[in-house]
Structure 1
Amino acid sequence: MNEPTNEPEPGDGSWVDELLLHTADDTAPAVHIGERMDRAALRREVDARRKGLADAGLRPGGAVAFQLPPSLALLAGVLAAWRTGAQVILLDHRLTVHETDRALHRIAPQLVVRPTGPVRRGSLRGFHAVDAAAEPYPRGRPATTGHALVQLSSGSTGPSKVIGRTAGELVAEVHRYTRIEGMPRAGDRVVVLNSLIHAMGLMAGVLHSLHAGVEIVLPERMTAEGILGAAAARTAPTVIMGVPFHAQLLGSVSSPPPLPHLVRAVSAGELVRPGVAEAFAARYGAPLGEVYGMTETGVIAADLSGAARPATGRPAPGIDVKVVDGELLVRRPTSPYIGPTDPARWSDGWLRTRDAAELDPDTGLLTILGRLDSQVSVGGLKVDLTEVEWALSELPGVREAVVVHDGAIEAYAVLDEGVTAGAVETLLAERVAGFKLPRRIRVLPALPRTTTGKPLRDPAALRAAVPERA
């Protein structure tokens, strides 16, 4: 299929059929989520979900939020909403009630799709068999922008950003992935370990795979045994797609089963630490490639060969980048943010990534060196330390607080008399998702500060300020 030159109109969902669901072979495998489903069966599932959303009142130009665990209901529901011509808003199913309420208040969709029954928390399930229902959201409204996809940059509270992408941008990124050497092709399988609502899992794992005719596989269990079992289930060329944690997990298996059809693994979400790629390749005889990108832009650069460390690759086709004062900037004609745009983040057609990078002027190779701002990755999930700090500082009994990342998320707080760190941790757990919680809260009599009065954020200085018995 040739890459379309025109942006799909808001409310026009025909791009889903043309890009994702069209196929010359209805019997080709499409997804394996508990059971295998061919392309024709997936279309029927999407049709059924589309009718259910229409019965709930969704129309072209409407807005619907999905808060579902990884499941067929999530995948088919999102496709169904897009086919309707509606705006899709994706919320992490692990958010607390407080975080969810804050997010919904900000985006005010017409409908919210949630499981009809309880979802097991803390399990290692790769997918869930859930029934889903769409319910009206009080004071909800149709889409106020022409974006097909709306995501929150890091959870749903405090300073998190609301990011929008048009259907045309999604289509362009799918085609961009098809031009990256080493991506799965028609007849291949991809075992997707990434979150289906975040950039890599959604765009590379789901949308590119549907477009390219690649079978999407979710393992029953997110254990080494479960992942390897999913990879070994069939003889088609197979790619494992996840985050560095998954590569570390699989690389630590002492005697893995033979996987002659494993082509490669692909990691995204954070940089792979030294030794992980080498250990993975030694165990499985397949390379560990890396993809670098952002929610705001999608894929920026990729090297799926696994040949270069640290993460080095050419900018993805159609991506224009530059490095200014050591920071990577990506060209974006319009702001990706819905609502007021911080000119310190996007201005004059350039988005600041807050990532350190080097760009070789002779070869065009881009090397990513790490984060420059407060956003960190925990198990491949983005956590904004400022957001956690904001939530902690808002709690009763907390005078002030600083949150840093020092191998793990750590918090330092000044508390009112009689308030304990344990009590604060309990309150924070009600407001912040588990993967964002600090490993511990250390109590200080006062925060160390710079000469200008700003709190110090150097982990060593903060540790030194902790009383000996704290």
Structure 2
Amino acid sequence: MTRTTLRSLVADQVTRLTAAGLAPGGTVALRLPPSLGYVSTLLAAWQLGGQVCLLDHRLTEHEVAAALDRLTPQVLVEADRHPASGLRGFSEIEPVAVPLPGGQPARSPHVLVQLSSGSTGPSKVIARTAADLLRELACYRALSGFPQAGERTVLLSSVVHVLGLVGGLLHGLHSGVRLTVPERMTAAGLLAAIAEDDLPTTVIGVPFHAELLAGVRAPRPLPQLTRIIVAGELTRPGVAAAIGERYGVPLGTMYGMTELGVIATDLTGTLYPGTRPVPGLELRTEGGELHIRRADSPYLGLTDPSRWSDGWLHTRDAAELDRATGLLTVLGRRDSQVSIGGLKVDLTEVEHTLTALPEVREAVVVFDSGAVAAYLVPADGAEVEQIRAGLEHRLAGYKRPRRLSLLPALPRTATGKLLRDPAGLRAAALAER
């Protein structure tokens, strides 16, 4: 796809959106799978001066209806057909724009509205301005080790969410980085996408993708692969070493939020568990929680003082900030630290200990109904008693999960993050009984 062809597609979508009633200051919701139709419609809506609300195409009809009630867009754009397979990296669809009765024009100057992943509970409505997006693009352009002009990105992160949208799609258009989306999101599909071009190639995804690649060997050398970068959640122990052994490249990590985009990085894989904050952000820790200076609340609707107050965004992430080196170490969700019988337990520590066991492939640990509960995928042939025995040698009794639920696969959000909502995890475990 060349820029000339893309501009032609954008012009076609401008005509369709205008016919559906979108005008400057109007609102439009996109519910489209990754596709040229999605890209051209997004750019067309912005060209028209619209406020764009992004909905993941994998949401259920019930979730979409609830989101539309909250967002009240004037136009909804959906695909003319459902994607052929959930494993496809991109789809061949035609966008269909439909006016929505009762839709409201934009009530703020924001150009982008997104829903948070909902991995720990109900989604938040997050809004960003054009200036904020341009600030983040400037960060990516200045970021040493991130793909730049003359290089290539193999993008595995969803373009509906912040890393794939800004760090992948928009950065590629802005900086002249060639963008490749694998035809199929399987291990073989990812390796094929890396191998199909000789340009220096960076893979960008979530820890799940790194684990997928760490578990296979490429059928032939991949000298063009320079780095794999993951973001979205903490990477379990051993994955970086496995990537280095398999491919001879570093596993870089990024920390960010939908509210701000990229916040800190370790693209060389040498600072683990630390990351270096990007220039221009003022950070502090208070009570072990990371706060980031932001003049205005990024949330639409009533401002929740537990998330933003007095010019500071409360990330709800536990973190340590080393004033001597400037490094930021994210320890996990602040709400992952719970009290058991008056003793503090860090659920992130318990989770990392579980995933380090050879009998465990992946795990999620939550605090549910006054107890620590673990949901995990066992390695082939592993039994629950083996896992319990392994924990006995590694964790004090008060830290060990009271319940161990074995699942064939852990439930994930639409963005690929592990679900951490206790009710959703309980439902998944009940469905397997």
Question: Scaled by the length of structure 1, what TM-score is found?
Answer: 0.73
Q: Which amino acid aligns with 2:137?
A: V
Map of 2:385 onto structure 1: none
- Note the 1:37-436 alignment, pairs <5 A: 37-120=1-84, 123-155=86-118, 159-310=122-273, 312-373=274-335, 406-407=374-375
Deviation for aligned residue 1:159: 3.8
1:67/1:262 CA distance change after superposition, 3 Å: same
User: What is the alpha-carbon root mean square deviation over aligned residues?
Assistant: 2.8
Q: Which amino acid aligns with 1:246?
A: H
Mapped partners of 2:10, 2:236: distance in 1: 40
Q: CA contact under 8 A between 1:102 and 1:156: conserved in structure 2?
A: no
Q: Which amino acid aligns with 1:406?
A: A
Deviation for aligned residue 1:80: 1.1
Deviation for aligned residue 1:119: 2.7
Deviation for aligned residue 1:134: 0.5
Gaps of at least 5 residues in structure 1 are: 1-36, 378-382, 390-400, 410-428, 444-469
Partner-residue secondary structure (3-state), 1:113: strand
Mapped partners of 2:165, 2:277: distance in 1: 20
Gaps of at least 5 residues in structure 2 are: 338-346, 349-363, 378-410
Q: Which amino acid aligns with 1:110?
A: Q
Any idea what the Cα deviations from partners look like across 1:71-108, whole Å, max 9, x if unmatched?
Answer: 11111111111111100000111111111111101110
Any idea what the Cα deviations from partners look like across 1:196-246, whole Å, max 9, x if unmatched?
Answer: 111111110111111110011110000111111111101111110001111
Deviation for aligned residue 1:373: 2.8
Q: Which amino acid aligns with 1:162?
A: V
1:433/1:45 CA distance change after superposition, 3 Å: closer
Q: CA contact under 8 A between 1:291 and 1:301: conserved in structure 2?
A: yes
Q: CA contact under 8 A between 2:117 and 2:415: conserved in structure 1?
A: no
Q: CA contact under 8 A between 2:26 and 2:104: conserved in structure 1?
A: yes
Mapped partners of 2:195, 2:180: distance in 1: 11
Any idea what the Cα deviations from partners look like across 1:39-73, whole Å, max 9, x if unmatched?
Answer: 21112221221222112111111100001111111
Mapped partners of 1:308, 1:361: distance in 2: 15
Identical columns (%): 53
Mapped partners of 1:354, 1:113: distance in 2: 33
Q: Which amino acid aligns with 1:183?
A: F
Mapped partners of 1:253, 1:158: distance in 2: 33
Q: Which amino acid aligns with 2:141?
A: T
Equivalent position to 2:425, from 433, 438, 441: 438
Any idea what the Cα deviations from partners look like across 1:384-440, whole Å, max 9, x if unmatched?
Answer: x99xx9xxxxxxxxxxx899873459xxxxxxxxxxxxxxxxxxx9xx999754264
Deviation for aligned residue 1:355: 0.8
Partner-residue secondary structure (3-state), 1:270: coil
Deviation for aligned residue 1:287: 0.9
Mapped partners of 2:97, 2:371: distance in 1: 37
Residue range with higher mean Cα deviation, 50-59 or 228-237: 50-59
Mapped partners of 1:88, 1:109: distance in 2: 9
1:403/1:197 CA distance change after superposition, 3 Å: farther
Deviation for aligned residue 1:442: 7.0
Q: CA contact under 8 A between 2:157 and 2:415: conserved in structure 1?
A: no
Mapped partners of 2:288, 2:27: distance in 1: 39
Q: CA contact under 8 A between 2:266 and 2:272: conserved in structure 1?
A: no
Mapped partners of 1:199, 1:217: distance in 2: 17
1:315/1:198 CA distance change after superposition, 3 Å: same
Mapped partners of 2:299, 2:325: distance in 1: 32
Q: Which amino acid aligns with 1:331?
A: R
Partner-residue secondary structure (3-state), 2:241: helix
Residue range with higher mean Cα deviation, 368-377 or 316-325: 368-377
Q: Which amino acid aligns with 2:374?
A: D
Mapped partners of 1:203, 1:403: distance in 2: 39
Partner-residue secondary structure (3-state), 1:293: strand
Partner-residue secondary structure (3-state), 1:373: helix
Mapped partners of 1:101, 1:408: distance in 2: 32
Partner-residue secondary structure (3-state), 1:236: coil
Residue range with higher mean Cα deviation, 360-369 or 46-55: 46-55
Residue range with higher mean Cα deviation, 170-179 or 43-52: 43-52
Partner-residue secondary structure (3-state), 1:46: helix
Q: CA contact under 8 A between 1:408 and 1:439: conserved in structure 2?
A: no
Q: Which amino acid aligns with 1:161?
A: K
Q: CA contact under 8 A between 2:200 and 2:224: conserved in structure 1?
A: yes
